[in-house]
Amino acid sequence: MRHHPLTYLAAAALLAGCSNDLEINADYEDRTVVYGLLNQRDSVHFIKVNKAFLGEGNAYDMALVRDSSEYGDEDITVAEVHRLDGNGNVAETYTLRDTLVMNREPGDFYSPQQKLFYFTTPFFGLQSNNRVFLNQDASYRLSLVVNGKSVTSSTPIANDFTINNNDGNTGTQAGARVGLVDTQGQYTDYEFNWTGRQDDKRFTVDYTFRFDEIRGSDTLHRSFGQSMGTRIVTNSNGGDELAVRLNGQAFFSGLSAYIQNDPDWASVTKRIFQGMDFHISVANDDFHTYLTLSEPVSGIIEDRPAYSNVDGAVGVWGSRYNKSVIGKRLSTNTLEELKSGQYTGVFHFCSALDPGGQYSCD
């Protein structure tokens, strides 16, 4: 097989033009990064606005330089949040101001000072006897102009929701108490129930079991808690009946292991049960999508698309909501198991919430 002379000349020219230097940095592009989560229970709302950086050298070293990530005062010429009514019209405008966080712990990025933006909202009303500062039926739009570039995003507000009457009740009635042992002395599940509302997409429920330890003349406040699970709403208009369960045997064995992690646990003369709390955290659809795409990969498909709901930038602009039931009592059978059961009978438990009874600490 004969090769044309031009073939060799072209190959020689290509080899002569090769370089051992590999350029991995593209031309610099101003890329804005925005993170903001609104909560109607907050009167002050913080937003992080930074710039991506690129340069020669170690990226970790550049991350420790404040100017690598923060815009100058002259770079951001518009910084506002607008409350939009049901027709998408601007009902209120809030100006973003900057402030310094002074006590950020050392890490991959610069510290101890970092600049955040914030805006404040006045008292709006009451939801479930709690003060709220945002309209849960409205959307809130972020509006920035960064180096002449428009950055916008809108998100609805995660709504308040309804907890089942017994599960939200902290009274002494039998139906309001947390039951983890049945009348036959067998472990059972406690079910926590609630009804989802519009713009609530993801619910995560945790519990906290609070107790005091008496160590000589000292009293140590302690707590044991775990997640009860996450539920995803399927009806975007709300109305889903949702529930999570806490297994009785898992609770008692977990509490026992937690206490015995302390090498001096046997020196405690009394442990006083102070109440059981349930905490519900809600994410709206925007925040839920971000969380879903940020979770660890558990399947065979490892690649996930990067998520951003901010036009003209990357990041997330979403909302969340928190609600708690504080100080629930335990059922009689559960108190008996706490005091004398196979897992916790050696820990000298009594209850501060049942004065004068057989499980009282009096």
Q: What is the 3-state secondary structure (H, E, C) of 126-169?
A: EECCEEECCCCCCEEEEEEEECCEEEEEEEECCCCCEECHHHHC
Element (H, E) at 56: none
Long-range Cβ pairs for the range 96-103 (8 Å, 24+): 96/47, 96/144, 98/73
CB 219 within 8 A of CB 213: yes
150 shares its domain with 166: no
228 shares its domain with 342: yes
Judge whether 311 lies within some domain: no
CB 269 within 8 A of CB 348: yes
What does each of the 362 residues of the chain score in pLDDT, given as a tens digit?
Answer: 444 443 333 333 333 444 454 444 445 567 899 999 999 999 999 999 998 755 454 444 444 455 567 898 899 999 999 999 988 999 999 999 999 887 767 655 555 678 899 999 999 998 888 899 999 999 999 999 999 999 999 999 999 999 999 999 999 999 999 999 999 999 999 999 999 999 999 999 999 999 999 999 999 999 999 999 999 998 878 889 999 999 999 999 999 999 999 999 999 999 999 999 999 999 999 999 999 988 776 666 566 677 899 999 999 999 999 999 999 999 999 999 999 999 999 999 999 998 888 999 98
What is the number of domains present in the chain? 2
- State whether residue 83 is helix, strand or coil: strand
Judge whether 77 lies within some domain: yes
Tell me how far apart the alpha carbons of residues 360 and 330 are, in angstroms, rounded to a whole number. 12
- State whether residue 339 is helix, strand or coil: helix
Residue listed under structure tokens 């997330």: 316
Within 13 Å, how many C-alpha atoms sit on residue 293's CB side?
A: 14
91 shares its domain with 171: no
128 shares its domain with 248: no
71 shares its domain with 177: no
334: left (phi over 0), alpha (psi -120 to 50) or beta: alpha
Last residue of a domain, which of 156, 191, 224? 156
- State whether residue 258 is helix, strand or coil: helix
147 shares its domain with 262: no
Cis peptide before 305 (omega within 30 of 0): no
Residue length of the chain:
362
Last residue of a domain, which of 112, 140, 156? 156
b/e per residue, 137-166, with b = 16+ CB within 10 A? ebbbbbbbbbeeeebbbbbbbbbbbebeeb
Q: Which of 312, 311, 322, 323 is nearest to 155 (CA)?
A: 311
CB 319 within 8 A of CB 286: yes
Q: What is the pLDDT of residue 264?
A: 94
In 153-236, which ranges are continuous DSSP H helix?
165-168
193 shares its domain with 332: yes
107 shares its domain with 169: no
Dmax over CA atoms of the chain, in Å, equals: 106
207 shares its domain with 332: yes
Last residue of a domain, which of 156, 174, 190? 156
How much is the pTM?
0.85
70 shares its domain with 127: yes
Tell me how far apart the alpha carbons of residues 315 and 153 are, in angstroms, rounded to a whole number. 10
93 shares its domain with 202: no
The pLDDT tens digits for 291-334 are: 998 877 666 656 667 789 999 999 999 999 999 999 999 999 99
| Angle ∠(182,188,193) on CA atoms, nearest 5 | 110
- Coarse DSSP helix, strand, coil percentages of the chain, rounded to the nearest 5 percent: 15, 40, 40
Judge whether 9 lies within some domain: no
Judge whether 266 lies within some domain: yes
Q: Which of 337, 74, 330, 40 is nearest to 210 (CA)?
A: 330
Judge whether 18 lies within some domain: no
Judge whether 7 lies within some domain: no
Q: For residue 352, give both structure tokens.
A: 């501060």
Tell me how far apart the alpha carbons of residues 356 and 217 are, in angstroms, rounded to a whole number. 23
Judge whether 2 lies within some domain: no
Helices (H) and strands (E) in the chain, counts: 7, 18
Element (H, E) at 91: strand 90-95
- Tell me which residue range forms the domain holding 119: 32-156
The pLDDT tens digits for 98-126 are: 998 877 676 555 556 788 999 999 999 98
244 shares its domain with 273: yes
Question: In sequence order, what are the residues at sequence separation of 6 or more whose Cβ sits closer than 8 angstroms to the Cβ of residue 23?
Answer: none
Judge whether 225 lies within some domain: yes
